[in-house]
Structure 1
């Protein structure tokens, strides 16, 4: 996988002549390749949102009849089975993460870019920690806006503090020590995913 990544990335770099721009182009190509799965995931999330609403209605309707409630809940789950497409998307990208990490940690020694002027080398961690901060904003802001009601009619999930804080800590620990190239990939990937979630799709 690392060799395949190196070949594809070198082709893109030879065309752009800038590592930062090459990462952006590479990320867009990856997201395009995964677009059919992203659409299926979005449809699944819409179903789950509807399912959650119906479950709340059932709990209110049968709050004094636990036996009937359990039967209705089982029937609802059978009618709307869950989907593992979200996990499939995550695992599909894992080899890409690993290949990019290895490439910028060992193979690509010097990786300057004009799009991030405060970083001399994308193979090194961001010395000013701006990449981890931008990543956290790109990850958390859309969900926070949905939670506050600023964004409606989207499949962007709401985030509670118990979900948000651990993800922020993990991101900080990982991205502060990782090549800035990987953080840039995550940021662009998040931005594209957020745009996808805002675009309505037919059922």
Structure 2
């Protein structure tokens, strides 16, 4: 883990010297990491999508072979094996965890005394946002990937909108993470969430066009 932390810290130092702004450097580093992890993230989305469709596919198999129990068992076993392969795609999430933890560690241990052009109302990125603008932006970016389900064009089959309980818990967690944490971490969270939003929109457009084709 220390190796990953040192690599990320070195890259961040280079970005700071290049941009002259810690906030911009944090955003760029976060986006670079997210882009590197994009193949795993997309594979995970495809696996989750197939798992969501599993009950429907099983019902189709049962309806098709309802009069042939032997063939039904065979088809269900085959589909079960295929589902297990799809489930392996979700393991990409666990591969991302060490990198995410390392990023969090790097930003948490920064010796910060300067502000950023991105957050002009805060004098130092080592302070928390007394105006709560950063926490509010972060909560909105967290909710956005699910809220786009309410837009008809992005309401892809199998993509459920965020229910009230999940919405409340998302707001609570988002505020808890950013209200009293350094703004530097808030920038990391917001950048990561915005990338996830763009990724989700892109994936839904891809899925919609794929179904239409």
- Which TM-score band (shorter chain)? 0.7 to 0.9
Matches within 5 A, 1:70-109: 76-81=79-84, 82-86=86-90, 88-89=92-93, 91-109=94-112
Aligned length: 196
Cα deviation, residue 88, structure 1? 3.4
Counterpart position of 2:126:
123
C-alpha distance after superposition, 1:39-81 (max 9, x if no partner)? 211221331232254467789x7xxxxxxxxx79776544422
Q: Which runs of 4+ in 1 moved over 6 A?
A: 56-59, 71-75
Once structures 1 and 2 are overlaid, which stretch shifts more, 149-158 or 178-187? 149-158
Relative to structure 1, is the Cα distance of residues 74 and 158 closer, same or farther in structure 2, using a 3 angstrom cutoff?
farther
Counterpart position of 2:25:
22
What are the ranges of 5 or more consecutive residues in structure 1 without an aligned counterpart? 62-70
Cα deviation, residue 4, structure 1? 2.3
TM-score (norm 2): 0.74
Relative to structure 1, is the Cα distance of residues 110 and 48 closer, same or farther in structure 2, using a 3 angstrom cutoff?
same
Matches within 5 A, 1:1-203: 1-54=4-57, 76-81=79-84, 82-86=86-90, 88-89=92-93, 91-147=94-150, 149=152, 151-153=154-156, 158-199=161-202, 200=206
TM-score (norm 1): 0.77
Q: 1-side partners of 2:164 and 2:59: how far apart?
A: 22
Q: 1-side partners of 2:49 and 2:123: how far apart?
A: 43
Counterpart position of 1:64:
none
Q: 2-side partners of 1:134 and 1:144: how far apart?
A: 14
Cα deviation, residue 132, structure 1? 1.3
- What value does the CA root-mean-square deviation take over the aligned residues? 3.3
Counterpart position of 1:67:
none
Cα deviation, residue 171, structure 1? 2.0
What are the ranges of 5 or more consecutive residues in structure 2 without an aligned counterpart? 64-72
Relative to structure 1, is the Cα distance of residues 197 and 186 closer, same or farther in structure 2, using a 3 angstrom cutoff?
same
Q: 1-side partners of 2:35 and 2:197: how far apart?
A: 14
Cα deviation, residue 148, structure 1? 6.2
Q: 1-side partners of 2:43 and 2:177: how far apart?
A: 29
Q: Is contact 2:142–2:170 with CA below 8 Å preserved after alignment?
A: no
